A = this chain, B = another copy of it.
Amino acid sequence: MTSSDSRVALIDAARAEFVERGYGAASIRAIAQRAGMSLSALYYYYKGKQDLLVAILEDGLAEYFRFSEEALANAGDDPAEHLEALVSASIRFRVRHPAKSSIVATEARSLEPENLAAYERSEARGSQQFKDVIEAGVKIGLFQTPYPDDARRAVIAMCNAVAQWYRPGGELTEDMLIERYVSLALTVVEYRPRTTRRGVAG
């Protein structure tokens, strides 16, 4: 087992413990055991419990941004397509990594102040992506919601919630789920495709 494998095994174990019990109640001994290592080994790889939490949150956010940036890169330049990309990335992330997803939402309070700052910056960045897209759509009249901020929060909240109830293997596939949530998101922002122009053009 390489050094990198050990690190991964440890944050996987730590994440699982944190999700099951919460950061405060999780035991560093249980984490080491779950990762199949000695307690001392854990301290060789990570400075402590807080360090594990930071690593987990960083890893989770990095993974999310990998999803969202890839989706944005493959989307056209239309705000609706951008929103579709973001929702799609968000759902995909939460479906494929429910633990990574839920811990981000729950355990930020356990971050020590200096680590909290960095986390909040990242989170704001994620939120900003939605904000930019929705405002762009509103600006050109493509999204007609009178409450863009609330709409943004609603879309993010409903995507986040997926991690809490969706279990793969049912009859609802990931792609179907994404389709639905894209549709819901477009509804929320009151998407009105510009059929008139198209109509005029046709």
A residues whose Cβ falls under 8 Å from a Cβ of B: 20-26, 106-107, 109-110, 145-147, 150-151, 153-154, 156-158, 160-162, 165, 180-181, 183-184, 187-188, 190
A-B contact pairs, 22 of them (CB 8 A): A20-B109, A22-B23, A22-B107, A22-B109, A22-B110, A23-B24, A23-B25, A24-B24, A24-B25, A25-B25, A146-B183, A147-B183, A147-B184, A151-B184, A153-B165, A154-B154, A157-B158, A157-B160, A157-B161, A158-B158, A184-B188, A187-B188
- Measured in the bound complex, the distance between the Cα atoms of B106 and A157 in whole Å is 15
Contact between chains at B22 and A150 (CB < 8 Å): no
Question: What is the total number of copies of this protein in its complex?
Answer: 4
Q: Establish whether residues B154 and A184, one from each chain, have CB atoms under 8 Å apart when the complex forms.
A: yes
- Distance to closest chain B CB from A107 (angstroms): 8
Distance from A3 Cβ to chain B, minimum over Cβ atoms (Å): 16
Q: Which residue of B lies closest to A147 (CB)?
A: B180
